[in-house]
């Protein structure tokens, strides 16, 4: 080894020892005859002191060293002079008095500062020079944190008799779900593999194979548009167990998450055991199936109280099968008109046509009456005293508060208010950042109607089992069939989801038929599953957790890119490697592939021309 110790481990107990360190020059403070070098490696920073009187040759080398030079330093550990300790450094009690300094490799001036205070560097620059970005201490910390969590996960499942089994990356394209990344086959002209969206079918087949307890940190691939919490390539903690019921999987994961939280985070878990909410309850109370339970501000429903209102927007919404619901903005009555307009804008992407609001001034409702002078609202004049009283009472509003209401289809109301609630929580500082709020969401609907395709689709995936007593509704009232599915949510992020699977071929076939698949289609696409289920498939179920989302929350970063070593941009490109990139004509020929980029462009410009004329 070119070093005897790391840059993070020397303490008072090492005083007097001769050591050799190696690392990067983090910062240099040159006092002429005396040079201080902060030497950095993955483990920390140690101050190296180079004195021209004591080590003239070392001093000569040190004076040439610049930021990010790779240095090797031989010297003696010495206690720092009294009053010169640095309590901000783990090694701050000591310094290494250099006897010899060697430049192992010089470095160009990096495109952004690596040592020193963290500045917000443009992300495209960080991604282009990711190897430098990862050198920055907070990024190194994220990688270490991710590793620690991975280690905990592995140890947890090893200790519980789970088998870690790898599954194929070259898989088969599946008809439903996300868009597949496909891989052409050289040996089979015109045929393709697909990268796994998840090893769902494979892990179920492992259960049929009698493995009973499987887990894997599985790489998954989905060719869909990206988000702050979505990358085309990601890692899931994927597991499957035989002979289990939903509660068994939840208990297993709950204990794991508690252990991870207690090990890597100083933040307390708000509630143990984790609260369990039904999907319906979550939608009604929070407008989302991944509620952030670090604060209250639950939605309230006034549909029944305003269904006969003079205010047409409310009356018509309810008459048309919609709802009128609201959320409270504590202390929001003093918001400027401009700020309220901003809240309205916030709600529009979700389809809400507007936001109705009622601000309560001092003394509002004190005598059971809501006079115009006590309210600040463009709609109060359309509402009766009874309606106002009901709205105020259900919102729990006090003088000084602002009531925000949306009237629309239930899905629009939920999405609008759910996101409005989050915005209010953030703006009003109600979110307790210093806590971990886990919850389970259960009883998801098994099916949803796809208007575009005119057929029922699986909400989760087509292998999810229905709640036992709901099977008979499959043909008569498919919207009421509940799934044996569960999602785990942490601080408003869906970090995982799973289900008990169908393990009988007759039930699986029944569901496929409900989904409108012909027998021929089923045979072609899922024949292997149906056949497998006929050879003694055990009851089984599992779950998959997004590793990066989990780590991002513990790392307190808003994007999973910060906890991935080499993530892609929002457009799915890799700025360091320059991928995706064209391949040679020979490569294409070998794969029996003809590229139609020209055709597509021609089609697009033809469409544009047609549009311009029309």
> Rule CB under 7 A: which of 484-513 touch RNA?
none
Contact by Cβ (8 Å): 208, 243: no
Q: Which of 16, 81, 368, 454 binds RNA (CB under 7 A)?
A: 81
Q: Which of 349, 363, 378, 516 binds RNA (CB under 7 A)?
A: 349
How many whole angstroms separate alpha carbon 492 and alpha carbon 592? Answer: 46
Which of residues 6 and 86 has its CB atom nearest to RNA in the complex?
86
Q: Decide if residue 471 touches RNA (CB under 7 A).
A: no
How many whole angstroms separate alpha carbon 276 and alpha carbon 256? Answer: 17
Q: Which of 107, 113, 143, 211 binds RNA (CB under 7 A)?
A: 113
Which positions from 121 to 140 touch RNA by CB under 7 A, shown as an x/- string?
xxxxx-x-------------
Contact by Cβ (8 Å): 72, 19: no
Q: Decide if residue 593 touches RNA (CB under 7 A).
A: no
Q: Which of 39, 62, 171, 197 binds RNA (CB under 7 A)?
A: 197
Q: CB within 8 A of 101, min separation 6: which ones?
A: 37, 48, 50, 55, 58, 61, 62, 65, 71, 72, 73
Q: Which 383-442 residues touch RNA, going by CB under 7 A?
A: 415, 419
How many whole angstroms separate alpha carbon 488 and alpha carbon 158? Answer: 22
Rounded to 10 deg, the angle between the 547-555 and 137-158 helix axes is: 130
Q: Which 157-176 residues touch RNA, going by CB under 7 A?
A: 174, 176
Q: Which 44-63 residues touch RNA, going by CB under 7 A?
A: 47, 49, 51-53
Q: Decide if residue 243 touches RNA (CB under 7 A).
A: no
Contact by Cβ (8 Å): 395, 326: yes
Q: Which of 350, 438, 526, 554 binds RNA (CB under 7 A)?
A: 350
CA atoms within 13 A on the CB side of 394: 20
User: According to the 3-state scheme, what is the secondary structure of 553-602?
Assistant: HHHCCCCHHHHCCCCCCCCCCECCCCECCCCCHHHHHHCCCCCCHHHHHH
The two structure tokens encoding residue 247: 């509660």
Contact by Cβ (8 Å): 500, 443: no
Q: Which 220-239 residues touch RNA, going by CB under 7 A?
A: 222, 224-230
Which of residues 177 and 399 has its CB atom nearest to RNA in the complex?
177
Q: Decide if residue 105 touches RNA (CB under 7 A).
A: no
Q: Please report how close the Cβ of residue 193 comes to RNA at its closest, in angstroms.
A: 16
Which of residues 360 and 447 has its CB atom nearest to RNA in the complex?
447
Q: Please report how close the Cβ of residue 162 comes to RNA at its closest, in angstroms.
A: 20
Q: Which of 31, 337, 338, 611 binds RNA (CB under 7 A)?
A: 31
How many whole angstroms separate alpha carbon 355 and alpha carbon 344? Answer: 5
How far CA 569 is from CA of 120, 143, 226, 551, in Å, comes to: 17, 19, 8, 19
Which of residues 158 and 449 has its CB atom nearest to RNA in the complex?
449
Cis bond leading into 273, ω under 30°?
yes
Q: Please report how close the Cβ of residue 127 comes to RNA at its closest, in angstroms.
A: 7
**Residue 584 CB neighbour total at 10 angstroms:** 8
Tell me, by CB under 7 A, how many residues bind RNA.
72
Which of residues 367 and 451 has its CB atom nearest to RNA in the complex?
451
The two structure tokens encoding residue 493: 């992020």
Q: Decide if residue 575 touches RNA (CB under 7 A).
A: yes
Which of residues 258 and 575 has its CB atom nearest to RNA in the complex?
575
Task: Please give the DSSP secondary-structure letter assigned to residue 67.
Answer: T
Q: Which of 3, 27, 219, 504 binds RNA (CB under 7 A)?
A: 27
Q: Please report how close the Cβ of residue 565 comes to RNA at its closest, in angstroms.
A: 15
Which of residues 165 and 346 has its CB atom nearest to RNA in the complex?
346
Q: Please report how close the Cβ of residue 85 comes to RNA at its closest, in angstroms.
A: 6
């Amino acid at each position: 080894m070119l070093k005897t110790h790391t840059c993070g481990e020397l303490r008072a107990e090492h005083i007097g020892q001769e050591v050799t360190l190696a690392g990067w020059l983090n910062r240099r403070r040159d006092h002429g005859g005396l040079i201080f070098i902060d030497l950095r490696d993955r483990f920390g920073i140690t101050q190296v002191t180079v004195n021209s009187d004591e080590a003239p040759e070392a001093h000569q080398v040190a004076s040439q060293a610049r930021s990010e030079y790779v240095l090797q330093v031989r010297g003696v550990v010495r206690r720092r002079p009294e009053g010169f300790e640095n309590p901000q450094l783990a090694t701050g009690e000591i310094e290494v008095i250099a006897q010899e300094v060697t430049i192992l490799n010089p470095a160009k001036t990096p495109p952004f500062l690596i040592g020193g205070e963290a500045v917000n560097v443009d992300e495209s620059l960080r991604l282009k020079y990711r190897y430098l970005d990862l050198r920055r201490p907070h990024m190194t910390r994220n990688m270490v944190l991710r590793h620690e969590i991975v280690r905990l996960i592995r140890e947890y499942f090893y200790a519980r008799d789970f088998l870690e089994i790898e599954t194929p990356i070259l898989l088969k394209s599946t008809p439903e779900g996300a868009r597949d990344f496909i891989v052409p086959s050289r040996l089979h002209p015109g045929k393709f593999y697909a990268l796994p969206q998840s090893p769902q079918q494979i892990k179920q087949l492992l259960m049929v194979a009698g493995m009973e307890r499987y887990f894997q940190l599985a790489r998954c691939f989905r060719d869909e548009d990206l988000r702050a919490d979505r990358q085309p390539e990601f890692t899931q903690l994927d597991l499957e167990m035989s002979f289990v019921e939903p509660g068994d999987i939840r208990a297993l994961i709950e204990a794991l998450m508690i252990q991870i939280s207690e090990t890597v985070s100083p933040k307390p878990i708000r509630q143990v055991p984790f609260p369990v909410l039904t999907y319906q309850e979550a939608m009604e109370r929070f407008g989302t199936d991944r509620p952030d339970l670090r604060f209250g501000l639950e939605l309230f429903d006034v549909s029944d109280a305003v269904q006969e209102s003079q205010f047409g927007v409310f009356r018509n919404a309810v008459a048309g099968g919609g709802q009128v619901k609201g959320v409270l903005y504590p202390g929001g009555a003093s918001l400027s008109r401009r700020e309220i307009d901003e809240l309205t804008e916030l709600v529009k992407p979700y389809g809400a046509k507007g936001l109705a609001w009622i601000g309560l001034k001092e003394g509002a409702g004190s005598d059971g009456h809501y006079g115009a002078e006590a309210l600040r609202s463009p709609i109060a004049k359309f509402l009766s005293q009874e309606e106002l009283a009901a709205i105020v009472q259900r919102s729990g509003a006090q003088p000084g508060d602002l009531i925000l209401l949306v009237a629309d289809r239930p899905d629009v109301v939920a999405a609008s208010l759910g996101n409005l609630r989050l915005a209010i929580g953030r703006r009003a500082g109600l979110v307790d950042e210093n806590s971990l709020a886990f919850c389970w969401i259960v009883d998801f609907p098994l099916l949803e109607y796809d208007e575009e395709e005119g057929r029922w689709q699986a909400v989760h995936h087509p292998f999810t089992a229905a709640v036992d007593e709901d099977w008979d509704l499959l043909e008569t009232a498919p919207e009421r069939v509940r799934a044996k599915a569960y999602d785990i949510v942490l601080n408003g992020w869906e970090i995982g989801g799973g289900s008990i699977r169908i393990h009988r071929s007759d039930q699986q076939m029944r569901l496929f038929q409900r989904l409108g698949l012909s027998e021929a289609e089923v045979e072609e696409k899922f024949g292997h599953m149906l056949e497998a289920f006929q050879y003694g498939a055990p009851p089984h179920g599992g779950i998959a957790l997004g590793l990066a989302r989990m780590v991002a929350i513990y790392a307190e970063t808003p994007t999973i890119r910060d906890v991935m070593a080499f993530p892609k941009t929002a457009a799915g490109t890799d700025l360091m490697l320059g991928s995706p990139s064209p391949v040679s004509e020979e490569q294409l020929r070998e794969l029996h592939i003809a590229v139609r980029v020209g055709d597509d462009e021609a089609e697009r410009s033809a469409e544009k021309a047609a549009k311009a004329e029309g």
